[in-house]
Structure 1
Amino acid sequence: MIALTGATLVVDDALVDDQALIIREGRIEAVVAANDVPATADVHDLSGCTIIPGLIDLHVHGGGGHSFDDPDPAAHQQVLDFHARHGVTTMQASLVSAHPADLARQLDALAETTTTNSMLYGVHLEGPYLATSQCGAHDPTALRPPTADEADRLLARYGLITMVTVAPELPGVPEFIRRLTAAGVVVAAGHSEARAPGLAAAVDNGLTHLTHLWSCQSTLIRQGPWRLPGLLEESLASNHLIGEIIADGHHLPPTLIEIARRCLSDRLIAVSDATAGAGMPEGYRYRLGIIDCEVASGVGMVVGADAFGGSTTPLDGMLAHLHRTLGWPLPEAVAATSTRPARVLDLAHRKGRLTPSYDADLAVLAPDLTVGATMRAGAWTHRG
């Protein structure tokens, strides 16, 4: 039995002091008054710190100089270790668009990684079923509409692929979405020129998620005197879709984050979109698929283009930006980086909260919100 004492706890919408977390066999057994800690407990005094549920990153390509699109499980482990040091306890490995043979090799390697490290919950395919005109840092030659055969191949990897981003306007997408969502895969709209009819058809077939708002999304246009909302406006006006923001202080200015917050409320999630450049020095070169990128002014940039090449900030940096820079209450920032992502992955019954019977997945924050320690399933995966 472990007792974590002395820290402020973020319990749902509240900051709780003078309470201790009791952990047994990988789960939170109880939250008790500090003077009620069992005498037999292994006590860890974390005075001056704050304990939050472990961070859950739905959209991450790499970190610490390594990438998930490297078909080498050893590289994947380096990525997982890097993000564990930043408070992440569950994540999806995001893959940029790739040609079929390359994608198959990447998925084979990630299937091996998921058997050896349960921190990796599954794989998010950010493409290749995207609009060429909104490709961003994706290889445009790899983009293609989905086919029935590709749906068969993806569904044959049951349990590995947990999320797929698609452009709703591509031919074959509605049936593709229907088949994937019937198998429990979350389907998101992104990298798209979709207008209202395309998004509506996608939603009717099971689409529930929006990939990084404002990044590679169609926006308002005029046809004569008529104004036609794009995917962005339709997303913000939706009453049930869940939207991502990259809250690194570079991708989106505070005004846009506040618009998303007001529109989506508790359906807004922060993701890192971290790349191999996360944690690396200025000028470090890395690749997203075949696209050359570099760390420049604290963000990823496509070499030779005025375009972002993913983020170089892990999810704890997003949490700090939301709370310290933008003034969100800490419980709200934690909800956006842990509690709400758990719902997307259908894990809300056991992850994303500090409450009895939940997995003992947590991060210990210093006063400056840097991560001093990370625990997963009751075991320390990182201690500073």
Structure 2
Amino acid sequence: MDRFALTNARCALPGGMQENLAIVVAGDRIETICPMADFSSGTSFESVPSIDVDGRLTTAGLIDIHVHGADALSFDTVDPTEPARIADFYAARGVTAIAASLVSAAIPELSGRIENLRAAVEHPQPGHARVLGAHLEGPFLAASQAGAHDPKALVSPDSVDWRPLVDAGDLLSMVTLAPELTGAVELTRALAGAGVVVAAGHSEARGRELRACVEAGLSHITHLWSGQSTLIRNGPWRLPGLLEESLASIGLTAEVIADGKHLPFPLLEIARRCLGGRLAIVSDATAGAGLPRGAEYDLGGIRCVVDDGVAVVKDAASGAFGGSVTPLPAMLDILVHQAGWDEHEAIMAGTAVPAGIMNAGNRQGRLAPGYAADIAIFDHGFRAVGTVVRGVVRGCDGLHSDGSIPRMRDRG
């Protein structure tokens, strides 16, 4: 359909929640959003077919800027079909854009994995989530903060030729690095100059090292409390770590894994109060997302197992999580119905904020005229029942699970 409307929607708009609205889509953009009374009486809408969402919560499609895979599939693969299959998995859950996160590996391997994303990025299949390019979570990380990354894969920027990564062009969207490593400032400057978002993470950095990279173009902080240095004492002097510097920052954005497992609710609340509208939620979901408890999978050569709502590294001595197994919609349910977050604020942390972090805030992440027709329709508990991606309507578990569009009517 070139033009259609979602009607009787309860919408998360940039300014707040509003009910009884119609969202008119034309092509791959939102044409207008108006009260149902205006849609029903407007002569310009007489021939527009509509889908009655029956008062369901309707948001901009969720944007996950840190996701490694799902359903036994991983972006760390040489299988050219897996990125599209992962994009399909998330679109079916109301996530309409994802950054393909890659774990630490040698530069030639990472270059090949980035190239493997080309088809999904440049020629997406209809109804699949947008793939926003690669997010390299490594290999420029601190060994002491490796987490689920293979320590043998970690390197300092001054020890390798990282130029092939900078030359990856539009296929590279974000790089997480440790600011204290030798050569990190030079790498940050080169990446930021190429339009890549640079983030600090898996790091032992102190304030001076973080500020040096911020001056070179670093703008984001990867998963607060996970893989971050914290406060230490040097005699009587207290020295803030990356965590405290991040929470006290003025212009930096940051992300949290809001699965209720990585971080207890008081820590999520601290991040919310400190960063406000600069805080995004991310899944950090791995191949374990969608798999049953006890299922095992590889994360960059590290064996992980799905436990009680989270993944852990199988080697018990490591004491590390192996990423998350919870997609963003379930995290919204946790934040709103368990952690007590305001519904609108939580939704913005999964839509407008991550869009802004990825420098796409002027075209994605909001229900507003002129923005991308990436839309999610949720039932109770943030269960997706319908998704629109680039103007293509697809069903999710109920609204039109057979591929048709029930409740659609021609008003002409």
Q: TM-score normalised to the size of structure 1?
A: 0.97
Where does 1:76-155 land on structure 2 (aligned, <5 Å)? 76-117=83-124, 119-147=130-158, 150-155=161-166
CA distance in 2, matches of 1:365, 1:260: 26
The equivalent position to 1:281 in structure 2, one of 292, 312, 330, is: 292
CA distance in 2, matches of 1:166, 1:294: 26
CA distance in 2, matches of 1:322, 1:160: 32
- SS at the partner of 2:117? helix
Partner of 2:335: 322
Partner of 1:170: 181
CA distance in 2, matches of 1:383, 1:290: 33
Per-residue CA shift, 1:298-325, capped at 9, x if unaligned?
1010002221000000011111111111
CA distance in 1, matches of 2:158, 2:47: 59
Instruction: State, as a whole percentage, how many aligned pairs show the same letter.
Output: 48
Which moves more between the two structures, 123-132 or 33-42? Answer: 33-42
CA distance in 2, matches of 1:381, 1:158: 31
1:316 is matched by which residue type in structure 2?
A: P
CA distance in 2, matches of 1:196, 1:33: 49
CA RMSD of aligned residues (A): 1.3
Is the CA contact 1:196–1:234 (under 8 Å) kept in the aligned structure 2? yes
CA distance in 2, matches of 1:382, 1:230: 46
Unmatched 5+ residue regions in structure 2?
Answer: 40-44, 398-412
Which moves more between the two structures, 4-13 or 337-346? Answer: 4-13
Partner of 1:253: 264
Confirm whether residue 378 of structure 1 aligns to residue 378 of structure 2: no
Confirm whether residue 355 of structure 1 aligns to residue 368 of structure 2: yes
Per-residue CA shift, 1:271-308, capped at 9, x if unaligned?
00000000110001011100000100110100022210
1:116 is matched by which residue type in structure 2?
A: H
Partner of 1:22: 24
Is the CA contact 2:111–2:164 (under 8 Å) kept in the aligned structure 1? no
Is the CA contact 2:106–2:153 (under 8 Å) kept in the aligned structure 1? yes
Partner of 1:68: 75
CA distance in 2, matches of 1:367, 1:48: 11
Per-residue CA shift, 1:232-267, capped at 9, x if unaligned?
011111111111100001000010001011111111
Where does 1:225-304 land on structure 2 (aligned, <5 Å)? 225-304=236-315
Partner of 1:52: 59
- SS at the partner of 2:170? coil
Unmatched 5+ residue regions in structure 1?
Answer: none
How far 1:34 sits from its partner (Å)?
1.0
CA distance in 2, matches of 1:368, 1:192: 35
Per-residue CA shift, 1:105-138, capped at 9, x if unaligned?
2122122332222710111000000000100000
Per-residue CA shift, 1:210-234, capped at 9, x if unaligned?
0000001000111111111111011
CA distance in 1, matches of 2:30, 2:119: 29
Is the CA contact 1:71–1:110 (under 8 Å) kept in the aligned structure 2? no
The equivalent position to 1:34 in structure 2, one of 7, 18, 36, is: 36
1:197 is matched by which residue type in structure 2?
A: R
How far 1:65 sits from its partner (Å)?
1.3
Q: Residues 111, 148 of structure 1: CA spacing in aligned structure 2 closer, same or farther, 3 A cutoff? A: farther
Per-residue CA shift, 1:146-171, capped at 9, x if unaligned?
14863321122111111000000000
How far 1:95 sits from its partner (Å)?
0.3
2:348 is matched by which residue type in structure 1?
A: A
Per-residue CA shift, 1:309-350, capped at 9, x if unaligned?
000000111111111111212111111000011111111111
| Number of residue pairs the alignment of both structures matches | 384
CA distance in 2, matches of 1:115, 1:74: 14
The equivalent position to 2:350 in structure 1, one of 312, 317, 337, is: 337
Is the CA contact 2:115–2:171 (under 8 Å) kept in the aligned structure 1? no
Is the CA contact 2:7–2:36 (under 8 Å) kept in the aligned structure 1? yes
CA distance in 2, matches of 1:154, 1:139: 20
Q: Residues 150, 294 of structure 1: CA spacing in aligned structure 2 closer, same or farther, 3 A cutoff? A: same
How far 1:364 sits from its partner (Å)?
0.2
